[in-house]
A = this chain, B = another copy of it.
Amino acid sequence: MRDNGLSRREREKLRHRNEMLKVALELFSEKGYHNVSMHEVAGRAEFAIGTLYKFFKNKEDLYRSLMLTLAESYHQLLVEALNSDGGVLIRLKNYVDAKAKVFTDNVSMVRLYFAETRGASFNIKAGLDSELREVYENSLQLLASTFETGIREGVFRKMDPYYLAVALDGLTNAFLFCWLEDPEGHSYEKNAPVILDGFLHGVLSQ
């Protein structure tokens, strides 16, 4: 019973669990939730099927655990960006960049996130979705409150801050999709400043 409260046994167990999650992420993001069997996950993780079921009570539980972990770490980075030092414009830039970083650093996570998140409410049982959606909604709310600050400071026009958040989120997502489909052709990192510029100044010439 050493270390940070975890015995060697427990640490090993956690390693095994993480190994399974890692493999599950790989497979799910390669082939989608419904095209991956528990046997496949167990096989690739080099555990027996029963062992997998010792760790996750069923397939959905495995998927939920995976998605929540990912969504939370994803959310965490966005929170940090939005709470960073500097004015609202700098914080927004950090937000866009953080999103870029999360995406480019971890393509398979992103693929899975979008593939099953956008359509998930109709594909997968509702329980998961509400938890996930909550994390997502939190990000949006925090972004909205940043806009609210900006409006109070007179930086932004008086518009509904929540919708501003929706707009910026939608914009970044759109460009991230572009990048996902053709990473060479559409560099998100190159586009990020352009996105923000267009968003801030509009697209009209005058």
Chain A interface (Cβ < 8 Å from any Cβ of B): 29-35, 111-112, 114-116, 118-119, 121-124, 154-160, 163-164, 166-167, 169-171, 173-175, 177-178, 191, 194-195, 198-205
Contacts and interface: CB of A to CB of B under 8 A. Distances in A.
Nearest to A154: B205
Contacts of A177: 118, 170
Chain A interface, >50% SS class: helix
B170 A173 contact: yes
Given A170-B173, A174-B166, A175-B166, A159 B203 contact: yes
A157 B206 CA distance: 8
Contact of A123 (B34, B156, B160, B173): B34
A156 B204 contact: yes
A164 B194 CA distance: 10
Contact of A203 (B31, B124, B200): B200
B122 A167 contact: no
Contact of A122 (B31, B154, B169, B202): B31
